[in-house]
Structure formats: structure tokens, C-alpha cells
Structure 1
Amino acid sequence: MPTYTSLLRGLPLTLLLAASLPGAAQSIQFTKEQFRENKDGLKEAQRELKTGDEAYLADPARYLVALPHYLAAQEFNPDNAELNAKIGECYLHSGTKAAALTYLQKAQKLEPTNDARTHYLMGQALHLNAKWAAAIKEYQQSAPMGGSKAADGALTVTAEDLARRIRECRNGMELQKHPARVFIDNAGPEINSAYSDYGPVVAADETTILFTSRRPNTANAAKDPLSDSYFEDVYQASWQGKKWTSAANLGAPVNTKNHDATVGLAPDGQRLLVYADESGGDLLESNLRGITWDKPKGLGSRINSKYHESSAAYSPDGRYLYFVSDKPEGGRGGHDIYKVELAGNKPAENLGPIINTPYGEEAVFIMPDGKTLYFSSEGHNSMGGYDIFKSVYQNGKWSEPENLGWPINTPDDDVFFVASASGRHGYYASDRPGGLGGKDIYRITFLGPEKPPLLSEENQLLASRLAPVTQTVLAPPVAVATAQVTILKGTVTDDVTKMPVEALIDLIDNKTGQSIATFHSNATSGRYLVSLPSGTNYGIVVRQDGYLFHSENFDLPTDAAYAEVTKDIPLKKLEVGVIIVLSNIFFDTGKAILRPESTAELERLQKLLTDQPTIKLEMAGHTDNVGKPAANQDLSQRRAQAVVTYLTQHGIAADRLSAAGYGDTRPVAPNDTKLGRQLNRRTEFKVTGK
């Protein structure tokens, strides 16, 4: 099907602008007659024009290479219609598309014309500046031949393409009437540069950000000859109290002499997905080893193909990968979003027609709650280019995608949106007034109803270069996510030396006894972070060779709101006298019968005794101070004995085990709070022999 791209290259602008209307303003040509007194300047301008035309007329056109040469010639002669039109067209293919309007308007003023191409270019420029009604009018005048061939043989825009662009303008009109209540703040000079910065990915707790930048990384940094921009590299920064640290180039082996771009980051910030410009475009994975990222490795043929795989995101449990590919088999058109289980050999699954459209989908991101999906799409009710959408997986299917609205989305491409686990903040790149240069990274703050809105006559939020200068529009609040997730983080250390330990962290569903996921703490810092979506009774087990296991319990109801819990974990080595709390042993109130949710913890204890055949343990029961001391002591004794009985019934010799009930005599927390009493109701073991 012919598209308007062919028309854009169909005729030289000189021929189109020559068909001008009566009463045209004067367009000044680059001739000796016009510039008799500045021949040297004219020669230099003509050289710039020639160089620009070589790039502009190349196949494919190299608009970004042509643009600086055209701008240099335009500085000498700002009143040439053809040159202004070419500059406008180049800007339409740049990262600052909205800048095209000024030049196209000037070209039209200097030499008005009714040709379809000029109307279409003007429609695009007006569209990108959110001048919806004017853009629709230009689009309607750009296809007099109804999508077939024009009289001169050049292909015109198709009726389907025009209808889509007009529909986008109407979507924009409606979305702009109901703007989202947000702050959109520039991330500042620590992150952004005078060059293009984009593709942010953040750890779930917002302590780490990585992003892609096209700034020079060395004094002799190379440029991509196709775009005349520096090659992409990955940069990283950390949050320090009130601002980001200055971004640092990640260096080798992640960054190479070619394009290297951020794609996705695991919630704990220890696995990074990067894009490599090889084999049509592939996705690679790098792991953080202490403080160093290792060499990225390919993700295999179930994900990468000979086609273009452009973005991806981990599920919070690390079992699945959501990724974007334009492979034709199984696709719906353009780039589609797929899901694949990383273990095993099942093929990737297309997310289907609710998410994927006949147009392009891009920049997939899954929230740490495991059910809220963000992605960019040219389809659905986009207001132009790619818009950011949200869909929630519920009742076995994805909900109808919801446009995040104006001013988050604009008529230009809005892509690579990610969010913090709380859903309070989002990050993405945009080209907005007041930026530091090229695309900048912005932080979106989603406002809840508790924040009183400030009235403003403006309907667009802007961000300044450094300090946020934000305006809020009165509108219904927008929630970026349900945020039904708990972030558990802290540091794993040796109990005695206090040195960091690289430990494995297992998440267990206590109801089923099945392992959900396994993570690890950082080898250098000992830091860990796991996301716990609401609706599960989690057993969390921290283990490492040479240490006794450490367990925690988080029983999160389905409606549990977002929370961050910091829990530092000291691992203890196997020594006589060491005491370990068994946080996942459960009894009903006032009873000594082990509940089924205790099975996984009991099996770990059984394995410890099997792997260490000489150790002896005392099982100890404890209660809070509610009730009579004698009753508490009796209950604690029976509970300790219940654990011993389970172990002996599962092959552990009775002479290696003893049971002791201490009632409320050994509290570990005050009994005057609910949390304190909960901590005092515990089962633990003490190593009595090895």
C-alpha cells in the first residue's frame, strides 16, 4: 500500500514551491544578483546547501545530517522558501519535530502553494504542536486525489493514513480537555546533558537509575555516520537524599564502540537488559557482580530472531520476560508485545489483540505487582506517534488499554515509560520546552485526591532546566497503579564479622509450599530487594553455604497497600548456642496443631538435620503475655513438641531433639503493642550440640 513517505520523496521542493499562488511574498534565491556585496558569504552558503542536499537526496534520506548544513545556509539567507521548507521537513524527522512548524509557516508565507505535499507537511507540524483543528484542516487538503496517484504521477497519502492522523487529532482534542493531575519535572543536570538522554530504567525503590545517552563519552568519541550523532552508551546514577549523583558512563563490557542502549532493569537493580544493534537488533542481559556489570549475553532464539527485538521487561519474580519484536510469524502488524517463560522451551506468546494493534507497540514495562502493564502504542486512542498506555491483568485477561492522557502523552512519540514500585512516580524521556538539549529524562509525580489542585490558566505542564516549575490543572486524579505490593529490602551480613554476604533469597508460597522465585544479595554490598505482590502468604528464606538459614514471613492480604520494609539480615554460622527463629511455623490461636502453611519451613529444618547428621537441636516455644502464665507455658511446650514430633515422624532420630516451652518468660519485644506481641509468639531452635 503506498504511503505518504513516497510522496515526500516524490518531487523536489523547488517544483512544488514554484506552483505558488498569486500574491506570494518574495522568496530570495541564493544567487549573485541577490548578494552582490557578499560573494564570499554566498559561496559558503551554497557549499552548505550542496552538502545538505547530498544528505537530503540520499536514499534513504539523511535528514539529521542535512539539517545543520541547511541551518547554516539559512543563517545567511533566512528568506528562501525552499530552504525553510527543507529545514521544516528535516525537523519532522528529528528529535525536536515540533520545531518544524516555524520553518514551514515561513516557507508558506514566502511562496504560498496548494500542493498536497505542503499541506501534509504543514498538517504534521501543526499536529505536533497540538494545534488540532488547524492540523485536521491541512490534512483534509492534502489528498485531493483520494489516495490514488496525482496527475504528475507522484503517490499521494492514502485515505487510511489520513483518516488515522485526523482521528489522532480528535483523540488529542478530547484528551486535552481532561488533563491528568501530575507534576512533570526535569530530572536535572545530574542526569540530562546537552545531548539526547532517554530510555530510563529504575530500581523498584528508585535508588538506582540507568539510561541511554548520545553524549560524547571520550574526547575522541565516534559518531554514527547515518545520524551524525554520537553512538549510544549506557549511564548510571544513584539517588542521594534529595537528588541524583552525577551520571557515570557504565563503561566496558556493557558499552562498546557501537550502539548500546538500556531496555529493562530487574526490580532489585541487579539484572540489566540492553539492546545491541546486531542481527537485526537483539536483546542482551548483563548481571551486576558486586559493583561491576558483566559482559551482556544473548537471550536465546526464543526471544531474539533475525528481526528487530527492541525492548523488554522482567516480571517481578524473574520467571517471565515481556519483550517487543516485529517478527512476522504470530504478529499482528509492526512491533508486537510477547511473553515468554525464561526456563524451559515453550515458545513466546503474543499478548493478543487487546494489547497489540495493527500499528506498532513498543517499550514494555511490567510493574512489581506483576499485573500492571505499561507500553507505548501507535494504535488504540493515540493522539499522535506513540502514546503510553496502561493495562491490568485481571480475571484471566488484559483490560482495555487506558491512555495516560495529556500532558504525559503528546502528539509526538512518548515511549520508554517506567514506574517506581509505589506507582507514585514515573520516568520517561520527552522533548519539552526548557530542556537541557535533545530529549531529556523527566520524572512524573502522580497526584492523589488528598493534594489540593492549584488553578492555572495553562493546560500544559512544563518543567524547568533545574528546579521544577510545575503547574497543576484541576482534573480527576490519575492513579498510575494500584501499588498492591510490598518492597522488602536491606542488607545481608555475617552475624559476627558484619561483612556483606552474597546469599540466595528464596520466596515460597506457604499455602502451596512451592518456590516462587530466587534472588540474591549483592556480593559487595550485601544489599537485596524483593517485591512481594499482595495476596500471598510468603515464606522468605535467606541461605548461603556455611550458614544456618534465616526465615521471614509476610502474609499479605489481597488488598494490602504499598509498603516498603527494611530488614537487615545477619546470617549465623552453625555453632553451639546459636538460636534461629522459625518465622514460618504457624499454629491456630490457642492451639498446638501445625497448620499446613508450616510444611515448607518444617522441610527446611528436616533437610538441615539430614545434611548435618551430628547436630542436636532444642525446639523452643514462646508466647506473649496475654493469658495466664501457666497456660502460656503449657501451650508453648506443646507447640515445641509438635515440631519435634513432625521431625521424628520424618526420619530424624529422637535423641537429637528436645522440646522446651518458655511461655512468656523470654520476650524479644515489648508486649504493649500488637507487633511486639506478634514477635514474642514464636518458635525457634537452639543448637545444643554439633
Structure 2
Amino acid sequence: MKLYGKIIFSFLFMFLSDKLIAQDPELAKIYLEQADQVYAEAKDAIEIAKDIYIQAAEADTMNVRANYMAGVLYLETVNRDYSTKYFERVKRLDPKYRFNIDYLLGRGYQYGLEFEKALKYFLAYKNKVTSDRSYRGRDKTSVYEVNDRIEECQNAKEIIGMPSSYTIENVSENVNSTWPDYAPVLNEDETVMIFTSRRQEGNTNENVDKDNFYFEDIYISKRNGVTWSKAKNIGQNVNTLYHDSNLFLSSDGKTLYIYSDEGNGDIFYCTENENEEWSKPKPLEGRINSQGFAEQSIWVSDDGEFMMFASNRPGGYGGFDIYGCYKEDGQWKRPFNMGPEINTRADEDGPYMAKDGITLYFSSKGHKGFGGFDVFTSTYNDKTEKWNKPENLGYPVNTVDDEVYFHPTADGERGYLASVREEGLGFTDIYMVTHVGNLEKTAKERISKLKERENDFITDEQLEVKRLIDSVLNISAYQVYFEVNSSEIDDSHNEKLIEMANFLKSHQNLGVQISAFASSDGNPKYNYELSNRRAQSVLKFFKENGIEPDRLAARGFGILKGSEDKSRKAEVKILDLSRFEE
């Protein structure tokens, strides 16, 4: 493993220091041979091989195989949308090089949130595969898979166009690293976060696994005020020399449930004593852990009398299903499937029940989503005794990549999850999701409460006609402009935004709609995320200046066509919330 560590260092150095490499077919062949050797000897060392294939493809942009392998390995790692650059070269140089090249291009564009382009290639591939049903090559992707991708793109176009009720931000550099960090679990007051990481720092094992990442270890961080402490290894009582991953933390922060490789995947637990020392993990009692099948997530009620977990045991609706289980007389009884409203023919995972006892969060590959795992929520209907149709949390919480193990807070205002994002520190990072509401849903309740007492209501018509203050027209549609690749609000906008905040404080029936955009520089995925960060910056400004969250809505729309300088903006519009009563 140390040999591959040296290889990746040397090639990453070349890659970073010589991005604009001259065309050299002979050098490309050398790179290609070395990449093949690395990939053949340690297929899991995919990041090393990918970087060398990229070098080969850039040394000779006409080398079809180098471009193909660079694209394939991008699809299997992070920044999957970057694969399109290399697959486009392959298609241009040799359209018949791989039977499913159109499908691969569609996948790359799907990951880049370019759904129209993705659909074009998926439909082209579908026409090809249905017109040549006799083809049996290994590079054939089934029509069932491409139909799933087409449905995901159509879903994504609809979901991404919906008003978002959430904002998302990276938790902290004290928590995240340049290595994969994921599966955050917290105690009820959000002062303790435990998560899994494959980082080098503090790892129990100084060597790497066959994929050239360090083994999974469990880490802990504690919050003081608004600051998370530097994460540290939870200790060798819990972590071993090999893979260890957390699943759930009790509300008091004293019982930690972890995943064990035993029995094909079992749930263990350990407890913390008064000296903040964790006990050795032991298997969960009762019928939870099955023989020969996997259990890979868990949630336990505060009273310890009910749990949910995910398992691929026989008798389910698909792959992994979510199960429930009650405790009676101190013993866990026979688990039961949560039913077809929750589980699908695909995989479900990461169940978490909100404090109200009827709102379930979980991740699914089978419900209406972007692709991969998306986070959904469903509420239990006492009258029908069934779960309501799950709702996708939407963008920016969900992406085309996997979002799983969503951990909502006790008050329901925030949540934590791990995801791959453009602004991340490395691979998978941990993010905090904040619920900002939906004006259509919150406005009616707010206006109803306001009408119970006397208020000076300002209507949309009055905003236009009376021109109540000097810059009321500007206030009703104010433009906040940003620098290139920035989501920081320039000081020149502070005076106007504070004026708007004060105006809102004087008129409690008014709210703010924030719509943010990016220029066409960069790829669509990055621009969607950048526009969302800009929308969140303006929303945060209003919250910090005393405007209640139920009066604010913010959303990033990605690219705005037009003048590049004028496209990097957030449009801030004041509106009358009482209109939503109509």
C-alpha cells in the first residue's frame, strides 16, 4: 500500500504542476501503460489510476482508450460530470468504440445537472438498443436501466424547478477533511457530533486499504457556542485496525450504535461512562441482526421502546427495506416491514423519526428522485393507518449523487447529512441543512395570526402606488451583485439591505423572495450550487438583521443568460404575504 502512496503523490504532483501538457503520443502511451498496471494490480486504487489516465488523455487527446478510461473512472468517483469531456472526445474520434457511449454521455450530463443534454443521449441510446436487440456485448446497458435514467432526468427537471424550503452549508473545517467524511449523528442539543471518516489524521491504522483510502474510523467533535471543536478519534475501545462506522447516537449522547462486518453486516452498540470513556461494542440483542444478511442503519426512540433499521433480509419489497421493531418486557420482538408506502423494489436506508412521532425521514433509490439515494419525508395518517406519499426534500438537499443518513434536529429546523458538493473540502463532506420554510405554506399562518391584532397592512398595490419611501421601487426589486465565483455580499449593498430590513420590521405582513443567479462561466452543476450560496447569503443577512424565517424564501436558479456581470446577482423582492390567502 505504501508503494501506491508514492505513486499517487508523484502523479498528482505532475498533474497539478503541469496542467497544460503538450501533445505527446509517446508519453501518453507510457502513462496509459502505468495506469493499466495500477488499475490491474489494485482495482480499488481507482483515484490513482484515474489521475494517470487523465494525464494520458491530455498528453494525446486523440488517444481513444485513454479518453475512454478517464471518463469511466470519473463516473466511478467524484466530479462525475467531468466525464463528459472525455466521452465527447471518444464519440467524436470513434463513435463505435463502445456500444453504450451515448448512455455514458447521458450519465455524465445527468450528474452535471444538464438534464436536456442527458435526455438527448439517453433517448439516442434507447433507440439504438431497441433497434439492435440481438447485441449481447459486455458494453451493453439494459433498456430497463436507461428507462430509469430517463425517468430520473424528467423527475429532476420538475423537482429542481420547485421552490426550495432548505438551505445547505458546510459544517466546518474542524469537522470535515480532504478525505471522505460522512454519517453524522448528534445528541439532542447538538453539542456532540459523531461521524465516520477515512482520513489519515488520528487514524487507528497507519496503512491504507486496497482502495488507497485509510480505513474507516469513528470521530467525535463537540460544539461550544457556534464553533465545532477539532474532530478527534473516538478511541481504540470503539475503533479497530479495520473498518468501523457509526449509525446512530441516542438523544442523551450516551449510547452509540455502530456497524460491524460480522454476520455480513450487524448492528452493535457501546455506551459512554461518566469519565467520557466508551465501552467495547457488543451486538444488539434480540432478533434485529439476521443470519447471513445485512443491517446497516438504525434509529431508536428516546424511551428505547421502538426502533427502525434497514436490512436486505428476505421477504422485503426490493433490496434494502426499512423495518420497525417494538420492545416488550425488555426484549426486542419480531421486526416488521414498514410497508409499500415507504419501501420500493429498489433500496431504502437511513430511517429517522422526528420528535412528533409521525414524521419519517429516510433515503430511497425507488421513490421519485434525481438518481441514486435521495432524502424523503413522509407523515403517518392515523385515519388511514398508512404512511402518506413520500415527498422529495428537493434541491439543494438532494442531488444526482447519493444523499443518505439525514439526521434532523429535535426542533425540526435543521438537519445534517453528508454529500459531494463543488465547494467541499475533498470527497464527501458533512453539511448542515436549515429549513427556511415555504412562503406559500407559512404566509397563511402568519397572516392569520397578524389579523388577530391590529396592523398596518401594506398591499402589493400600495407598494406600487404610494411609493411609501424614497426608494420603494428599488426596494421592491433590488439587485445584489456578486464578484466572480463569490457569494459574499459586497459592503456597498449593506445600506440598502438594512433599509429593506427596517421597512419589513415596520410592516409585518410583508415578506422577501430572493432569487439568485450565476453567469454562464463554469459548468451548470457548479452554477446551481453557486447561485444557491448567493441566495443563502442574502437570506442569512436578513435573518441576522431581525427578519423572521417564515417571511423569507430563497432559491438559486443557476445560469442567467445575458451580460456576464449582470448575471452574477440575487434579486430581492418584497411582496405582500396576504396574497397567499387567496
Normalising by structure 2, what TM-score? 0.69
Match of residue 366 from structure 2: 379
1-structure distance, mates of 2:143, 2:131: 5
Deviation at 1:183, TM superposition (A): 2.1
1:216 aligns with 2:200: yes
* Aligned 1:184-223 pairs, distance under 5 A: 184-218=168-202, 221-223=206-208
Q: How many residues are matched?
A: 438
Match of residue 430, structure 2, among 428, 432, 441:
441
Match of residue 266, structure 1, among 227, 250, 262:
250
Contact 1:374–1:391 under 8 Å retained in 2: yes
Match of residue 169, structure 1, among 153, 157, 165:
153
Match of residue 425 from structure 1: 414
1:135 aligns with 2:203: no
| 216 and 153 in structure 1: CA distance in 2 versus 1, 3 angstrom threshold | closer
SS in 2 for 1:432: coil
| 96 and 271 in structure 1: CA distance in 2 versus 1, 3 angstrom threshold | farther
| 312 and 148 in structure 1: CA distance in 2 versus 1, 3 angstrom threshold | farther
Deviation at 1:44, TM superposition (A): 4.9
1-structure distance, mates of 2:320, 2:381: 24
Listed one character per residue, the Cα deviations across residues 266-295 of structure 1 (whole Å, up to 9, x for unaligned) are 122111111122321111111111201111
Deviation at 1:63, TM superposition (A): 4.0
Listed one character per residue, the Cα deviations across residues 280-327 of structure 1 (whole Å, up to 9, x for unaligned) are 111111111120111111114611121121111112322112100111
Contact 2:28–2:55 under 8 Å retained in 1: no
| 236 and 86 in structure 1: CA distance in 2 versus 1, 3 angstrom threshold | same
| 68 and 150 in structure 1: CA distance in 2 versus 1, 3 angstrom threshold | farther
**Equivalent AA in structure 1 for residue 120 of structure 2:** K
Match of residue 303 from structure 1: 288
1-structure distance, mates of 2:123, 2:531: 34
Contact 1:147–1:157 under 8 Å retained in 2: no
SS in 1 for 2:100: helix
**Equivalent AA in structure 2 for residue 212 of structure 1:** T
**Equivalent AA in structure 2 for residue 279 of structure 1:** G
Contact 1:184–1:463 under 8 Å retained in 2: no
* Aligned 1:520-559 pairs, distance under 5 A: none
2-structure distance, mates of 1:301, 1:140: 50
Contact 2:516–2:531 under 8 Å retained in 1: no
Match of residue 237 from structure 1: 221
Deviation at 1:355, TM superposition (A): 0.1
Structure that is richer in helix per residue = 2
**Equivalent AA in structure 2 for residue 116 of structure 1:** F
| 105 and 476 in structure 1: CA distance in 2 versus 1, 3 angstrom threshold | farther
| 148 and 346 in structure 1: CA distance in 2 versus 1, 3 angstrom threshold | farther
Match of residue 404, structure 1, among 368, 371, 393:
393
Match of residue 323 from structure 1: 309
Deviation at 1:354, TM superposition (A): 0.3
1-structure distance, mates of 2:209, 2:289: 24
1-structure distance, mates of 2:345, 2:70: 32
2-structure distance, mates of 1:85, 1:179: 38
Match of residue 608 from structure 1: none
| 437 and 375 in structure 1: CA distance in 2 versus 1, 3 angstrom threshold | same
Match of residue 667 from structure 1: none
SS in 2 for 1:170: helix
| 468 and 228 in structure 1: CA distance in 2 versus 1, 3 angstrom threshold | farther
Match of residue 354 from structure 1: 341
Match of residue 413 from structure 1: 402
1-structure distance, mates of 2:96, 2:338: 46
SS in 2 for 1:452: strand
| 444 and 153 in structure 1: CA distance in 2 versus 1, 3 angstrom threshold | closer
Deviation at 1:155, TM superposition (A): 6.7
Deviation at 1:468, TM superposition (A): 11
SS in 2 for 1:162: helix
Match of residue 145 from structure 1: 129
Match of residue 528, structure 2, among 443, 452, 460:
460
SS in 1 for 2:360: strand
1:45 aligns with 2:31: yes
Deviation at 1:445, TM superposition (A): 1.1
Match of residue 357, structure 2, among 367, 370, 373:
370
**Equivalent AA in structure 1 for residue 307 of structure 2:** L
Match of residue 547 from structure 1: none
Contact 2:202–2:232 under 8 Å retained in 1: no
1:340 aligns with 2:325: yes
Match of residue 231, structure 2, among 231, 235, 247:
247
Listed one character per residue, the Cα deviations across residues 47-84 of structure 1 (whole Å, up to 9, x for unaligned) are 4233144158x6xx764463244245446445523212
In structure 1, stretches of 5+ residues that fail to align are 1-27, 36-40, 479-690
1-structure distance, mates of 2:115, 2:313: 34
Deviation at 1:461, TM superposition (A): 4.0
| 366 and 477 in structure 1: CA distance in 2 versus 1, 3 angstrom threshold | farther
Listed one character per residue, the Cα deviations across residues 516-540 of structure 1 (whole Å, up to 9, x for unaligned) are xxxxxxxxxxxxxxxxxxxxxxxxx
Match of residue 71, structure 2, among 85, 88, 94:
88
Contact 1:183–1:446 under 8 Å retained in 2: yes
**Equivalent AA in structure 2 for residue 299 of structure 1:** L
| 468 and 294 in structure 1: CA distance in 2 versus 1, 3 angstrom threshold | farther
| 85 and 150 in structure 1: CA distance in 2 versus 1, 3 angstrom threshold | farther
2-structure distance, mates of 1:476, 1:111: 55
| 410 and 281 in structure 1: CA distance in 2 versus 1, 3 angstrom threshold | same
| 158 and 469 in structure 1: CA distance in 2 versus 1, 3 angstrom threshold | same
2-structure distance, mates of 1:476, 1:100: 41
Normalising by structure 1, what TM-score? 0.59
**Equivalent AA in structure 2 for residue 438 of structure 1:** F
Listed one character per residue, the Cα deviations across residues 613-639 of structure 1 (whole Å, up to 9, x for unaligned) are xxxxxxxxxxxxxxxxxxxxxxxxxxx
**Equivalent AA in structure 2 for residue 394 of structure 1:** N
| 312 and 189 in structure 1: CA distance in 2 versus 1, 3 angstrom threshold | same
1-structure distance, mates of 2:199, 2:535: 24
Deviation at 1:114, TM superposition (A): 7.8
Contact 1:391–1:400 under 8 Å retained in 2: yes
Listed one character per residue, the Cα deviations across residues 630-660 of structure 1 (whole Å, up to 9, x for unaligned) are xxxxxxxxxxxxxxxxxxxxxxxxxxxxxxx
Listed one character per residue, the Cα deviations across residues 464-521 of structure 1 (whole Å, up to 9, x for unaligned) are 99x997466999989xxxxxxxxxxxxxxxxxxxxxxxxxxxxxxxxxxxxxxxxxxx
| 45 and 161 in structure 1: CA distance in 2 versus 1, 3 angstrom threshold | closer
Listed one character per residue, the Cα deviations across residues 389-432 of structure 1 (whole Å, up to 9, x for unaligned) are 00112303222111001111111111111111111111111111
Listed one character per residue, the Cα deviations across residues 145-185 of structure 1 (whole Å, up to 9, x for unaligned) are 32985436447333322221111110000011113133211
* Aligned 1:461-610 pairs, distance under 5 A: 461-462=529-530, 470=537
Listed one character per residue, the Cα deviations across residues 581-631 of structure 1 (whole Å, up to 9, x for unaligned) are xxxxxxxxxxxxxxxxxxxxxxxxxxxxxxxxxxxxxxxxxxxxxxxxxxx
**Equivalent AA in structure 2 for residue 381 of structure 1:** K
In structure 2, stretches of 5+ residues that fail to align are 1-21, 443-510, 519-526, 541-548, 554-582
Deviation at 1:452, TM superposition (A): 2.9
SS in 1 for 2:343: coil
2-structure distance, mates of 1:331, 1:138: 34
Contact 1:179–1:475 under 8 Å retained in 2: no
